[in-house]
Structure 1
Amino acid sequence: MSGHIDYGNLMHRAMRGLIQQVLTQVADHGLPGEHHFFITFDTTHPDARLADWLRDRYPTEMTVVIQNWFENLLVEEDGFHITLNFGDSPEPLYIPYTAIYTFVDPSVEFGLRFETQDYDDEDEETSGDEPPSQPEAEVVSLDSFRK
């Protein structure tokens, strides 16, 4: 065991777990009320899957909206599959949780932002006395959304 608690990594995992739980509820029961999501993710993530034309159009990051029309929402341990409509063309996507930069539900003024992306195995132990790099995690205060 290393000589420190990696709060940044623990916070990222907890925030990703929250996203997974919310999407699981939506997959099981649909979007309740006015809830909808804006999810910005890294299109260069090695596990992200999207059509070549979308990757060409969004070479670094992309924001998707889960609101009125979506199909095939399948929530997994490491990410989720979803089919979204792009100009009357349904396109399947796979978005790993580690590729997500922001998750926002504007209907209730809730948002999460991941300041850094870490695609390595998050459970790896660090050898020696050198502490691992600290990913930054930010919990967005609801007060910043209040009018």
Structure 2
Amino acid sequence: MTTSDTQNPETNQTKNGYLVLASRMIFDEKLPVRFMYKTVPEHLNDTGWRLYTGYETPEYLEDDIANMATVPMEKITNLDPSLKPLLEYNAGTVWERTPDSTEWQRVYDFKIPTTSPDVEITNDLERFSVKEEDLDI
């Protein structure tokens, strides 16, 4: 079996998109990426990657429209080529590096934030019954 016949289960999923969501501190303050995770992509152009410097405060992160930038993945990897192999990994992957290190470490204990859809759960079947007069037949 050749290497082309086998796929790394860590990198063979969620391949859509070419954009990442990155902290503006990376560009405005020229700080390096030190923490990143991949969520399930939100749209076809989204890779799912979220990149941070590690200096973002909770208040900074609350205003994601002002403080996060949608950026082509290529622009990020041009700034920091060490990101390129990591950006191949699947959703659910988290990486970090400390300020005194150039090496990336895999993180297993970070809970990736998710957006919660507004869903109402009920066991009341009457709420889901369709009346004949409501149908266009």
TM-score band, normalised by shorter chain = under 0.3
Which structure has greater strand proportion?
1
TM-score, normalization: structure 2? 0.26
TM-score, normalization: structure 1? 0.25
| Greater Rg over alpha carbons, structure | 2
